[in-house]
Structure formats: C-alpha cells, structure tokens
Chains A and B, each alone.
Chain A
Amino acid sequence: MTTTRAIITISLLALGATPALAEAAPPAIDAGDTAWIIAATGLVLMMTIPGLALFYCGMVRKKNVLATMAQSLLCTALCSILWVVVGYSLAFNGDGALIGNFDKIMLQGIGMNSVAPATKIPEMLFMAYQMTFAIITVALVAGSVADRMRFSAFVWFAALWLLFIYVPIAHWVWGGGWLTPDATAMKPGILDFAGGTVVHLNAGVAGLVAAYLVGSRQGYGSDNFAPYDLSLAVIGTGLLWVGWFGFNGGSALGANSRAVFAIVATHLAASMGALTWMALEWWTRGKPSVLGMISGAVAGLGTITPASGFVLPWHGIVIGLVAGAICFWACTKLKQKLGYDDSLDVFGVHGVGGITGTLLCGVFAVAAVGETAGLLEGNPSQLLYQVYGIVAVAVWSGVGTVILLKVIEFMVPLRVSKQSEIEGLDVTQHGEALQ
C-alpha cells in the first residue's frame, strides 16, 4: 500500500510538472490527424477486401469466382505479415537512394511515442496505413492473370513481388529514395501524391508483363468470356470509390484542407471518368454498358491518384475526362492491337491511368495546394521529372516482374493444366465451387 501510494504521489507530481514542458513543445501526436488516418487505413483495407475482390470476381466466369477472391484475400494476409517483418523497414526507414535499411524489422524501435516523420501521427499508424497500399498494389496485379494462374505460383509471386518490386519503388518515390522530392535539400523529384507510379503504373506494367508470360486463356478470342455477375463488380466499384477517399485523402497524412481537396478531386475524377467511358461506348457501340461505367470510374480514380493532393478539385474533372477517354482506347483498341490477354485490364485501366495521371500532375500542379508548381504555373521541369519517374518505375517493374516470374517458373508452373483451366480454378485450386 505504501509503495502504491508513493508511486501515485510521484506520478501526480510528474503530471503537475509536465504542463510547463507541454507549452514549450506542443504534443507531437495530433488527435484529429490520427483519427482521420486510422479511418483512412480502414478505408484503404476495405478497397482490397471486399472492394477489389468483388470488382474482380464479378468480371470472371462463374468457375473462377472464388479463385479470384482468394487472390485478394491472400494478398491481404501475406503482404501484411511481410510488410511488418521487413517491408516497412526497407521501404520507409533509412535514406539510401535505392532501398531503406533493416533497422525496423519486426517493427523494432517503433514505440508508443514514435511519430512518423513530417507528420503528427504515430509511426505505427503510418506503418499500418502504408501496409494497406502494399496490399492493394499486389492484389491489383492478380487481375491480369485471372482465370489461369496456378495459386501456388501466385503465392510465390505475391511475396517476391512485394519485396523486390513494390518495396524498392515505394522507397524511391515516397521513402526518401532517389525520386523523392525534398524541398529543404533543394532536391527535385517526382510528384506522386497517393500512388500513380508506386501503385497503379507499377501494378499495370507488372500485369502486362505477367499476362504475356503466363499466356492467354484457353479460348481467348473465340470462347464466350462474358462476366459471371457484373452486379458484384458494381458493388466492388462502390467500395473502391469510397475507399479511395481514404487512399487519396489519407495521403495528406493529416486532417486538413489538402485532404479535403484531394477527396473532392478524387470524387470528381471518378464521376467524369464514368460519364466519359459511358458516352464513348454509347457513341461507338450503341449502348452504355454497366461494365463501361464502372471501368470509367476506376480509370478516373486511378488517374487522379498521383495528382490528387497537388491540383485543384476542378482539375479532377479534366483529369477524369482524359482518363475515361485514354483508358477506353487502351482497353478496346490498344489491347486488340498488341494481342495480349490481360483478363481484367490491369494495364489498360491502372497502367495507362497511372502514366496519364502522373503526367497530368506535372501539368496541373498548383503551388498553393501542394507547394510545387506544374507546367501551367510556369514550371516545365516538373513535367520532365514526372517522365523520368514514370520511366524508372516502369523499367524496374517490367524487368523485375519478368525475372521474378522466370525464377518462380523453376519452382512451380505458372499456369494450371489445360484441363484444370477448363474445369475452373475454384474446384481445381481450392476444392470449392459456386453451386
């Protein structure tokens, strides 16, 4: 009892002493910022499960619905563990040009009072928020090889691709690597607010390469690959759309006007993307399809991502318009011309959208919003940095994905057998099927 009382007395004394210190140094962790990023972390996780899982599974055939959902689920579970074990430390700790360091493996050194650099949120929250980005990027790639990739090969791919492709690129662009801009050090770099290069271009290029290496589906171009249930894809799109408020708005890493500007720009780009794709389809094909509307919305969302915290909200309308048109062209014309079978158009929507948005960010960037001016404000060099960043990310993602898939092919075939593909991945890979 005496000791307890003594401890309480000491604690009270200590508490009494702190206010003076607190006035000198304001609390490092801001409750408002932290609350918003906790919510945003949940929103971005929701984008993968169930958002992307539903968006993708609604577009495949009935025999592959569960296998497609399994890929999103696997990415969520596997990438979360790998991110905590080593991914976060390599991506966001240390200022090496190419890669971070191992100082924070297993979250070592992230304590109750650790604050993420240049923010007022706990570092543990920043780690968790970035984890959700890593998850969805890997899960996005899966769409290009849906309907035919062997699940065991995909498990290897998800793990290796996260560590060797996503982690270095996240470090280059966001984690203090050679592409990260640093105003205090007068170091220019690429503007990528929420992942036009790190997430969308990266996943799109990897998806394109994987579609080539894994090969086209049996019956591509002759059999009927009509989607199983587009209503699921519509629900998935809705979850992605709302989740994207956390993706882009949360990338402000605080509860502030920049977050709100990013959210409004995001919403306008999604809306304009959907309208544009719908109009083009109506005009060229005679009917405005539901698949077209949701494709346009996701194209708008992916394209505004890099620009969202650097431009004015109304720029979202212009960016959404361009996104809807270019991605429509990429999915309907470019794909036919190149002859690859990217099942769910990861390249056509995310790859092309990521490039477009990263370039348009360099055009429209407004110094009053994101402290960096773009081409229209008389800073043409920023557009060159954007091109530079796009090329670097595309080359690393493309070449790296080829090497990884070749390595995995030594261990396990990338594709299921022809017979399994015809029977369906649900029953042959997972022993389950929709009845």
Chain B
Amino acid sequence: MKMIIAIIKPFKLEDVRDALTSTGIQGMTVAEVKGYGRQKGHKEIYRGAEYAVNFLPKIRVDVAVDDNQVDKVVEVIANAAKTGQIGDGKIFVTGIDSAVRIRTGETDSDAL
C-alpha cells in the first residue's frame, strides 16, 4: 500500500477528482494548505507598501492505493493537474504500514 500526496493548484481540484474517479479510485482526503516551492511567493502592494506573500494557497490531495495502482494514479493526477505554468505542484509517494476500515474492522488492502 502506498500513500500518494499531491500538492496542486486549487482550481485544478475538480479536474483531479474527476480523473481519479474515472480510474476507479473510490476515496480521497483533501485539505487547503499553504506553501511554496521553486515558484516562491508573490508580491502584493497596498497603497505603495510592498509585502512578500511567501506562502501561496494550494490543495493537498491524499489518496491511499494498492502498490500495483501507484504508477497509474500518479500519472492520472499529474496529467489532470498540469497547466505547464510554474507552481503546478508536486506529487509524493510514501509507504503505508497498515490500514483499518473503522466500520467493519477490515484491514490493509481490504480497507482501501
């Protein structure tokens, strides 16, 4: 089992969700986050005073999948979230030790 963590542009969330649903992914967790990468932040100007906004709003999507689905899901997210512009985000893949479906008590792959 792997956890796929995608940091994407907020307006791309619906595209990513649609693409994941059509590949058979049944659930995901979404959070509004702030951060920056190579893009850095941007400048805002208020009556002549310039402020650097270092942390930009992003959306983080967490999807837990079986090992054999990882490559496909990463590709689907990358295609759906891509604009080609700076600040498109990143995808991280990390391992999951165990999983439990709370209602039934099923574990690991059965719980996904």
* Chain A residues within CB distance 8 Å of chain B: 224-227, 285, 287, 289, 291-292, 295, 331-333, 335-336, 345, 348
A224 and B47 alpha carbons, distance in the complex (Å) = 13
B11 within 8 A of A: no
**With A224-B53, A226-B53 in contact, do A332 and B48 touch (Cβ < 8 Å)?**
yes
Q: Main secondary structure on chain B at its contact with chain A? A: strand
How far, in Å, is A320 (CB) from chain B's closest CB? 18
Are A224 and B51 in touch, CB under 8 angstroms?
yes
Max count, chain B CB within 10 A of own CB: residue among A225, A226, A227: A226
How far, in Å, is A363 (CB) from chain B's closest CB? 27
A345 and B46 alpha carbons, distance in the complex (Å) = 11
A85 and B45 alpha carbons, distance in the complex (Å) = 45
Jot down 19 A-B pairs with beta carbons below 8 A, ordered by A.
A224-B51, A225-B49, A225-B51, A226-B46, A226-B51, A226-B53, A227-B46, A287-B45, A289-B45, A291-B46, A291-B47, A331-B47, A331-B48, A332-B48, A333-B48, A335-B48, A336-B48, A345-B47, A348-B47
A289 and B44 alpha carbons, distance in the complex (Å) = 10
A289 and B47 alpha carbons, distance in the complex (Å) = 9
B102 within 8 A of A: no
- Which partner residue on chain B sits nearest A345 by CB separation? B47
Chain B residue contacts of A295, Cβ below 8 A: 47
Q: Given known contacts A224-B51, A292-B47, A333-B48, what 15 new A-B pairs fall within 8 Å (CB)? A: A224-B53, A225-B49, A226-B44, A226-B51, A226-B53, A285-B45, A287-B45, A289-B46, A291-B46, A291-B47, A331-B47, A332-B47, A335-B48, A336-B48, A345-B47
- What sequence of 0s and 1s flags, for each residue 44-70 of chain B, a beta carbon within 8 Å of any chain A beta carbon? 111111011100000000000000000
Shortest 10 CB-CB contacts between residues of A and residues of B: A332-B48, A224-B51, A331-B47, A226-B51, A285-B45, A291-B46, A226-B44, A331-B48, A291-B47, A295-B47
Chain A residue contacts of B53, Cβ below 8 A: 224, 226
- Which partner residue on chain B sits nearest A277 by CB separation? B47
How far, in Å, is A329 (CB) from chain B's closest CB? 10
Chain A residue contacts of B49, Cβ below 8 A: 225
Q: Main secondary structure on chain A at its contact with chain B? A: helix
How far, in Å, is A177 (CB) from chain B's closest CB? 35
How far, in Å, is B38 (CB) from chain A's closest CB? 21
- Which partner residue on chain A sits nearest B41 by CB separation? A224
Chain A residue contacts of B44, Cβ below 8 A: 226
- Which partner residue on chain A sits nearest B49 by CB separation? A225
A226 and B54 alpha carbons, distance in the complex (Å) = 13
How far, in Å, is B94 (CB) from chain A's closest CB? 32
Chain B residue contacts of A332, Cβ below 8 A: 47-48
How far, in Å, is B26 (CB) from chain A's closest CB? 34
Chain B residue contacts of A225, Cβ below 8 A: 46, 49, 51
How far, in Å, is A137 (CB) from chain B's closest CB? 22
Chain A residue contacts of B47, Cβ below 8 A: 291-292, 295, 331-332, 345, 348
How far, in Å, is A287 (CB) from chain B's closest CB? 8
Chain B residue contacts of A348, Cβ below 8 A: 47
Chain B residue contacts of A333, Cβ below 8 A: 48
Chain A residue contacts of B45, Cβ below 8 A: 285, 287, 289
Chain B residue contacts of A227, Cβ below 8 A: 46
Chain B residue contacts of A291, Cβ below 8 A: 46-47
How far, in Å, is B59 (CB) from chain A's closest CB? 22
A333 and B44 alpha carbons, distance in the complex (Å) = 17
How far, in Å, is B13 (CB) from chain A's closest CB? 24
Chain B residue contacts of A287, Cβ below 8 A: 45
A335 and B45 alpha carbons, distance in the complex (Å) = 15
A292 and B49 alpha carbons, distance in the complex (Å) = 12
A348 and B47 alpha carbons, distance in the complex (Å) = 10
- Which partner residue on chain B sits nearest A292 by CB separation? B47
How far, in Å, is B35 (CB) from chain A's closest CB? 16
Q: Quick one: which of B6-53 are within 8 Å of A by CB? A: 44-49, 51-53
How far, in Å, is A322 (CB) from chain B's closest CB? 18
A1 and B52 alpha carbons, distance in the complex (Å) = 84
Chain B residue contacts of A285, Cβ below 8 A: 45
Chain B residue contacts of A226, Cβ below 8 A: 44, 46, 51, 53
How far, in Å, is A224 (CB) from chain B's closest CB? 4
A292 and B44 alpha carbons, distance in the complex (Å) = 13
How far, in Å, is A313 (CB) from chain B's closest CB? 29
